[in-house]
Amino acid sequence: MTIALNIQNLSVVYDAFVALNDVSLSVERGESFGLVGESGSGKSTLLRAVAGLAPVHSGTIMVEDIKFSGSQRDKAFYRQVQMVFQDPYGSLHPRQTVDRQLLEPLAIHGISDSEPRILRALDEVGLGSSFRFRYPHQLSGGQRQRIAIARALILEPTLLLLDEPTSALDASVQAEVLNLLEQVRRERNLTFVMVSHDLGVVTHMCERLAVMQNGRIVERISSAGLVAGQVADDYTRNLMVASKGFVRVG
Amino acid sequence: MTNLLTVEDLRVSFPTRSGTIEAVRGVSFTLGKERLGIVGESGSGKSQTGRAIMGLTPPHAKITAKTLNFAGVDLLTASAHSRRQMRGNRLAMILQDPKYSLNPVMTIGRQIVETLRTHQRISKADARARALAMLEAVQIREPERVFALYPYEVSGGMGQRAMIAMMLIADPELMIADEPTSALDVTVQLDVLRILDRLVAERGMGLIFISHDLRLVSSFCDRVIVMYAGKIVEELAAIDLPNAKHPYTQGLLNCMPTLGTDRHPLPVLQRQPEWAL
pLDDT in tens, B106-120: 999 999 999 999 999
Pick the residue from chain B with its C-alpha nearest to A238. Answer: B187
Instruction: State pLDDT tens for residues B61-104.
Output: 999 999 999 998 999 999 999 999 999 899 999 988 888 889 99
Taking the C-alpha atoms of residue B24 and residue B77, their distance in angstroms, rounded to an integer, is: 19
pLDDT, position A249: 62
Single-letter amino acid code for the residue at A159: L
Do B261 and B178 share a domain, yes or no?
yes
| A248 domain-assigned | no
| A247 domain-assigned | no
Radius of gyration of chain B (CA): 19
> Where does a domain end: B112, B143, B169?
B169
**Mean pLDDT (chain B, rounded):** 89
| B95 domain-assigned | no
- Residue A26's CATH number: 3.40.50.300
What's the whole-model pTM score?
A: 0.85
Q: CA nearest A159: which of A10, A1, A28?
A: A28
Instruction: State pLDDT tens for residues A107-123.
Output: 999 998 999 999 999 99
| β-bridge mates for residue A163, sequence order | A195
Instruction: State pLDDT tens for residues B121-161.
Output: 999 999 999 999 999 988 888 999 999 999 999 888 889 98
Reduced 3-state DSSP string for A150-178: HHHHCCCCCEEEEECCCCCCCHHHHHHHH
Mutate to test the interface with B, among A87, A183, A204 (most CBs of B within 10 A): A204
| A143 domain-assigned | yes
Q: What is the average pLDDT across B224-236?
A: 93
Domain span at B12: 5-90+174-276
Pick the residue from chain A with its C-alpha nearest to B187. Answer: A242
Mutate to test the interface with B, among A43, A146, A170 (most CBs of B within 10 A): A170
> Where does a domain end: B120, B147, B169?
B169
Taking the C-alpha atoms of residue B206 and residue B201, their distance in angstroms, rounded to an integer, is: 9
Question: How many domains does the structure of chain B reveal?
Answer: 2
| B127 domain-assigned | yes
Burial (CB count within 10 angstroms: exposed 0-12, middle 13-18, buried 19+), residue B1: exposed
Do B182 and B69 share a domain, yes or no?
yes
| B110 domain-assigned | yes
Please name the member of A176, A178, A242 whose beta carbon is closest to the beta carbon of B257.
A178
Q: Cβ contacts (< 8 Å) between A203 and chain B: which residues?
A: 257, 259
Close Cβ partners of B196 (under 8 Å, ≥ 6 residues apart): B94, B164, B177, B180, B207
Q: Is a pLDDT exceeding 90 seen at residue B6?
A: yes
CB contact under 8 A, A203 and B188: no
Q: Which residues of A86-106 are buried (b: 16+ CB within 10 A; e: fewer)?
A: bebeebbeeeebbbebbbebb
Length of chain B counted residue by residue: 277
CA atoms A46, A51, A53, A54: torsion sign: positive
- Residue B256's CATH number: 3.40.50.300
In contact, B196 and B180? CB cutoff 8 Å = yes
Do B112 and B46 share a domain, yes or no?
no
CB contact under 8 A, B255 and A171: yes
Close Cβ partners of B274 (under 8 Å, ≥ 6 residues apart): none
| A179 domain-assigned | yes
- What order of strands is seen across the sheet that includes strand B223-228? B91-94, B174-178, B206-211, B35-39, B223-228, B231-237
Percent of the residues in chain A that have a pLDDT greater than 70, as a whole number: 99
Pick the residue from chain B with its C-alpha nearest to A201. Answer: B257
Do B26 and B86 share a domain, yes or no?
yes
Do B76 and B108 share a domain, yes or no?
no
| B97 domain-assigned | no
Please name the member of B187, B197, B268 whose beta carbon is closest to the beta carbon of A175.
B268
Pick the residue from chain B with its C-alpha nearest to A236. Answer: B187
Please name the member of A141, A172, A227 whose beta carbon is closest to the beta carbon of B260.
A227
Question: How many domains does the structure of chain A reveal?
Answer: 1
Instruction: State pLDDT tens for residues A194-241.
Output: 998 888 899 999 999 999 999 999 999 999 999 888 888 998 888 888
Single-letter amino acid code for the residue at B18: S
Please name the member of A179, A238, A249 whose beta carbon is closest to the beta carbon of B268.
A179
CB contact under 8 A, A171 and B264: no
| A140 domain-assigned | yes
| B71 domain-assigned | yes
| A246 domain-assigned | no
Pick the residue from chain B with its C-alpha nearest to A171. Answer: B256
CB contact under 8 A, B216 and A245: yes
Q: Cβ contacts (< 8 Å) between A201 and chain B: which residues?
A: 257
Do B180 and B164 share a domain, yes or no?
no
Phi, psi dihedral angles at B211 (to 5 degrees): -160, 160
CB contact under 8 A, A246 and B219: yes
DSSP B267: P
Instruction: State pLDDT tens for residues A130-140.
Output: 899 999 999 88
**Residue A134: count of CB within 10 angstroms of its CB:** 15
Do B83 and B179 share a domain, yes or no?
yes
Taking any CB pair shorter than 8 Å as contact, residues of chain B touching chain A are 41-42, 156, 185-190, 193-194, 197, 212-216, 219-220, 251-252, 255-260, 263-269
Domain span at A158: 3-241
pLDDT, position A1: 66
Tell me the HSE value of B230 on the side-chain side, using a 13 A CA sphere.
Answer: 15
Residue A165 Cα to chain centre, angstroms: 7
CB contact under 8 A, A203 and B255: no
Please name the member of A39, A200, A239 whose beta carbon is closest to the beta carbon of B258.
A200
In contact, B160 and B180? CB cutoff 8 Å = yes
Instruction: State pLDDT tens for residues A150-160.
Output: 999 999 999 99
Q: What's the pLDDT band for B217 if we cut at 50, 70, 90?
A: confident
Q: Is a pLDDT exceeding 80 seen at residue B183?
A: no
Instruction: State pLDDT tens for residues A17-57.
Output: 899 999 999 999 999 999 998 888 899 999 999 999 999 99
> Where does a domain end: B169, B198, B220?
B169
pLDDT, position B33: 87
